[in-house]
Amino acid sequence: MDFGVVLQTDPPARDVVAGLTAAEDNGFRYGWTFDSCVLWQEPFVIYSQVLAATKHLIVGPMVTNPSTRDWSVTASLFATLNEMFGNRTVCGIGRGDSARRVIGQPPASLDTLRRAMHVIKELAEGRAVEHHGTPVRIPWVRDGRLEIWMAAYGPKALRLVGEQADGFILQTADPDIARWTIGSVRDAAIAAGRDPDAITMCVAAPAYVGTNLAHQRDQLRWFGGMVGNHVADLVARYGDSGMV
């Protein structure tokens, strides 16, 4: 089991760099940030500094989305960081919530996400792919590697993770929810002829370190709002009983 830490890219950015450097020094393998460029600072600029300040830490967004940047831009960002620092990035991606809603736009569809994951991975690893109806390849990629970990909650999204993604991101750590969602991903992988053990399972929980329990809980109440929109959409679609 590996451990990671997720930070908001609040200014000053040097504090994010220092925090993730300390994470590596204390045995964490992954360093993540949110990716909502209006609410927080642009993460990919900061990743370059984090990777330069560390030796082994793997960094990435938890999570980016298919709509903030053109897929070729997202692929090139990861490929550039990997060329500079040796394949130490991971692409956490989902439909988009805070980054989209804050600019008045809806999350992407699952079909868009499916196509985006394919294009981003192919381009970041140096292979040719059709994008916007045009054959595209990033010619300078050499030995690039990029895992795509998808965030999901609902049955259709969980199925897509099992069918296509390299990893599953669950942004809540409730044991029953984890049991159901991870089981759904593994079942979908088996149905698609994939090895479920090859899919990395990443379960995230909000944390605030301190000694005052009431104060700590107050600092974490915002977290439900970060994922609550997706949950509300699912309840509206599937009802308030049954599987969801």
**4-238 CATH, one of 3.20.20.10, 3.20.80.10, 3.40.1380.10, 3.20.20.30:** 3.20.20.30
What are 199's two structure tokens? 């899919």
The number of angstroms, rounded, from the C-alpha of 187 to the middle of its chain's C-alpha atoms is 21
Residue 141's nearest CA partner among 122, 125, 118 is 125
What pLDDT digit, counting tens, does each position of 98-151 carry? 899 899 999 999 999 999 999 999 999 999 999 999 999 999 999 999 999 999
3-state secondary structure 23-64: HHHCCCCEEEECCCCCCCCCHHHHHHHHHHHCCCCEEEECCE
Helices and strands in the chain, H and E counts:
9, 9
What pLDDT digit, counting tens, does each position of 9-42 carry? 999 999 999 999 999 999 999 999 999 999 999 9
What pLDDT digit, counting tens, does each position of 204-242 carry? 988 888 999 999 989 888 777 766 777 777 778 788 777
